[in-house]
């Protein structure tokens, strides 16, 4: 096998998507390994999960920096010091500026709990239900400066049931997220997904 890609995961909270990526990376044939988990919040539950899995963790608290750029400079330095190839945002609740996003262009992934480009932003499931959508889902995409936008790597669809509360729908979408994110990272890390004209082209279909 060619060398595994080195992944840095950015979290702010519970880290269930990060956990799914950690699980996937345990498979020897998986083309990526998680080198570092960074949280902007010291109380993020995901930090303990990563530490228990034997992964290096860092807290880089945005509130301690005078500007977004200063915060991102340290984030960037930590990722580069760990020789990270690919960043996976997994519930990381900070918008990143153009400088950071461009520096990691096509090497930075995000997961969002809707079928983008529909329902960007927060309170996704409430808005999906209020709109009377019959289908929702999740998307893994390359990060661009605009929030929840960028070339789509993979999507999974989930039916919206008439009796669904936002919590019910969130739980079913989250299950799909945990399958989709490892598949999407595999595509990128193995080099079988590439960006052409802001669309992602796959050399072969995901497993």
- 112 carries an active-site annotation: yes
Looking at the chain, list the stretches that DSSP marks H as alpha helix, in order from N- to C-terminal side: 16-25, 45-52, 68-81, 98-103, 124-130, 166-189
Is 117 near ligand GRF (CB under 6 A)? no
Separation CA 137–CA 116 (nearest Å): 9
- Contacts of residue 119, defined as CB under 8 A and 6 or more positions apart, other chains included, come to 127, 128, 136
CA distances from 114 to 41, 52, 79, 147, 192 (A): 25, 30, 28, 13, 24
Among 9, 35, 84, 90, binds ligand GRF (CB under 6 A): 90
Site for ligand GRF in 21-80 (CB under 6 A): none
Answer for which of 111, 115, 187, 200 binds ligand GRF (CB under 6 A) is 111
The set of residues, in sequence order, having a beta carbon less than 8 Å from that of 122 and lying 6+ positions away, is none
Told to check if 91 binds ligand GRF by CB under 6 A, we report yes
113 sits near ligand GRF (criterion: CB under 6 A): yes
7 binds ligand GRF (CB under 6 A): no
In 113-164, the DSSP E strands lie at: 135-142, 152-159
- What's the closest the beta carbon of residue 57 comes to ligand GRF, in angstroms? 14
Kindly indicate which of the ranges 15-23, 95-103, 129-137, 193-201 contains the residues binding ligand GRF, using the contact rule CB under 6 A: 15-23
Nearer residue to ligand GRF within complex by CB, 73 or 149: 149
CA 30 – CA 187 distance, rounded (Å): 10
By CB under 6 A, is residue 16 in contact with ligand GRF? yes
**Minimum distance between the CB of residue 90 and ligand GRF, rounded to whole angstroms?**
5
Size of the site for ligand GRF (CB under 6 A): 13
Binding residues for ligand GRF, rule: CB under 6 A, are: 11, 13-17, 90-91, 111-113, 174, 177
């Amino acid at each position: 096998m060619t060398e595994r890609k080195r992944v840095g995961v950015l979290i702010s909270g519970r880290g269930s998507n990060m956990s799914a990526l950690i699980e996937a990376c345990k498979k020897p044939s998986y083309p990526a390994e998680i080198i570092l988990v960074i949280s902007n919040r010291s109380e993020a539950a995901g930090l303990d999960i990563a530490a228990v899995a034997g992964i290096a963790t860092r807290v880089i608290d945005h509130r301690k920096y005078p500007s977004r750029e200063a915060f991102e400079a340290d984030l960037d330095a930590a990722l580069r010091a760990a020789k990270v190839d690919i960043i996976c945002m997994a519930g990381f609740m900070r918008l990143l500026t153009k400088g950071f996003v461009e520096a990691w262009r096509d090497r930075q992934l995000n997961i969002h709990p809707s079928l983008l480009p529909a329902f960007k932003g927060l309170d996704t499931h409430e808005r999906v239900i209020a709109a009377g959508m019959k289908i929702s889902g999740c998307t893994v995409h390359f990060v661009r400066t605009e929030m929840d936008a960028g070339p789509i790597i993979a999507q999974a669809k989930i039916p919206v049931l008439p009796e669904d509360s936002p919590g019910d729908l969130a739980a079913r979408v989250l299950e799909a997220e945990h399958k989709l994110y490892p598949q999407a990272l595999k595509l990128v890390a193995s080099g079988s997904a590439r960006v052409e004209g802001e669309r992602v082209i796959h050399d072969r279909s995901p497993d």
